[in-house]
Copies of this chain bind each other. A is one copy, B any other.
Amino acid sequence: MTLNPLAKHKGTILYGVALALLIFLLKWLEWRLVIFDYALELYVGAIALVFTGLGIWLAMKLTKPKVETVVIEKPVYIEKRPVDAEAVARELARMDLSRRELEVLEWMAQGLSNQEIAEKLFVSLNTIKTHTSRLFEKMDVKRRTQAIEKAKRLNIIP
């Protein structure tokens, strides 16, 4: 979760505004209720209720969700291709493909044209071209077919 500077303090700002409104409300209540005998008790009760609610709301807003990790065993069919895991890892690290580039690579290996990939990812054709260019550069290949071949050989792609 990343928040821009405004959103980061949204809670605080909301709290401030809510507090201001409450003070007006309380002043009004003070003025209205002093005419009764049991005004003070009612007033205090109301304040207690309102601020209890405010506390609850605050807590709801501000508590961070607990992250629970669930490990699910999912059967994955693996080719019995003997691979030098270390060499693969080294080459993968050297390539350092970004998430988007990897995504493009995957669709590319599925046989999609740049145009089709662009439509699938909701971006322009030019963007895909840029991605593929950097991809080929990083992977040290000249064509998409070579990229696919290398990716399959390194098990980047099933």
Contact = CB atoms under 8 A, between A and B. Distances in A.
A12 interface: no
Interface stretch (A2-10, A48-56, A89-97, A123-131): A48-56
Given A59-B63, A68-B70, A145-B145, A76 B75 contact: yes
Nearest to A66: B65
Contacts of A112: 145
B52 A47 contact: no
A98 interface: no
Nearest to A145: B111
A152 interface: yes
Contacts of A81: 77, 79
